Structure 1
């Protein structure tokens, strides 16, 4: 939403609204989805699984937008609701899973999405030293923050370092929220400036590139320590 004022109360209201929406959508969705999928499977029409799943995703995204939340919140809720157990009636008769059905579409749209997000970056902002400093701070915060979160792993058989490294990437979700924030204004000023958006993109790229080799090193180190 566009506005001219922001307060702790308004921010808290949005957070509470998002939490209520997520819990409500997940509770109702997990209750109704099994029945919805059973009805869809009995129709025995082609592509009913992907159609039903997409309809659920778009419906929750639209409801999220109607209550003042980003559509991705609704899509995220749909992803939590949809479980493999819900489409067993489809897979038992030889049909593909949702993941297999959307893979060709993802192969086309995902690269387009990242190219579009990259095209939003104002290259002129890279000439500002403050941008690089801000990007470095964001990257360090992303890495150390996830290591701090990994301290919550209480099982002694799980490598906390590996868990922390696995949570580092800030992929498409971070870019989506940054893109949304860049288009919102507060008192006539952008909530996320061009420089801040560029810093977020840099952070996403760095964390995404660093994570695979870091995970490989973590697993290799764990195997070596066992020997």
Structure 2
């Protein structure tokens, strides 16, 4: 969310320390304003609509809130997805959150999400990857794998997990998906980066999503230490 907001802010200004500071300050103020007003006003509005006992009214209001806050986020030079995330965060505290989520997820997975991935697929051009080169492409993929293994696995290790469990956590966090595509799409539409970045991003999403399940399966093969520990546990004690 922070990367998306900063990227959107840069699109309307220059990449300077002052510009980044203003973007981060604006993002913080927007987040506080939405959360404070949302947590106070939204429950009252939902209780009022709940008197009519019409589920569709709640879903319609939820969609209006999402689109409105997303539009406000763009007006203040932030990413629309930032506003959508905050809207969902506010509505998650409502008693009817589960009902809204089940109905909205049908709309999302049935319409908006397929449309988004279709657009990303159409926008990709594999011929643009030829300009990167095999070596550079391989380095990008290796970096995509190692960044998650080292970053997430290192955090797990610092949190007290064993080295093997930390490695498994890092591997499990490797796949990139819709957020990476959203960042690339915003960068392209804002003119910050070229279309080649989208092709590279789609390649990373495909490779990491396809390879990670095999790495996870391999990482959960019992190690020699785990086998010895299991044998000691199962070994009957001598009387």
TM tier, shorter chain? 0.7 to 0.9
Q: 1:135 and 1:70, CA in 2 relative to 1: closer, same or farther beyond 3 A?
A: farther
Aligned to 1:45: 54
Q: Which runs of 5+ in 1 are unaligned?
A: 92-96, 186-190
Kept in 2, the 8 Å contact 1:26–1:77? The answer is yes
Aligned to 1:63: 72
CA distance in 2: counterparts of 1:20 and 1:202, whole angstroms? 36
Deviation at 1:75, TM superposition (A): 0.8
Q: What secondary structure sits across from 2:95 in the alignment?
A: helix
CA distance in 1: counterparts of 2:38 and 2:214, whole angstroms? 38
CA distance in 1: counterparts of 2:103 and 2:75, whole angstroms? 29
1:140-190: CA deviations, max 9, x gaps? 3333222323433425489433433333222112111211111223xxxxx
Deviation at 1:220, TM superposition (A): 5.9
Q: Aligned match of 2:178 in 164, 172, 181?
A: 172
Which is worse superposed, 173-182 or 146-155? 146-155
Q: Which runs of 5+ in 2 are unaligned?
A: 1-7, 231-239
Aligned to 1:94: none
Kept in 1, the 8 Å contact 2:172–2:212? The answer is yes
CA distance in 2: counterparts of 1:212 and 1:58, whole angstroms? 35
CA RMSD, Structure 1 to Structure 2 (Å):
3.1
- Give the TM-score taking structure 2 as reference length: 0.73
Kept in 2, the 8 Å contact 1:57–1:74? The answer is yes
Q: Aligned match of 2:43 in 22, 25, 34?
A: 34
Larger radius of gyration between Structure 1 and Structure 2: 2
Aligned to 1:74: 83
Q: Are 2:209 and 1:208 aligned? A: yes
CA distance in 2: counterparts of 1:6 and 1:121, whole angstroms? 27
Q: 1:53 and 1:125, CA in 2 relative to 1: closer, same or farther beyond 3 A?
A: same
- Give the TM-score taking structure 1 as reference length: 0.76
Q: What secondary structure sits across from 2:78 in the alignment?
A: coil
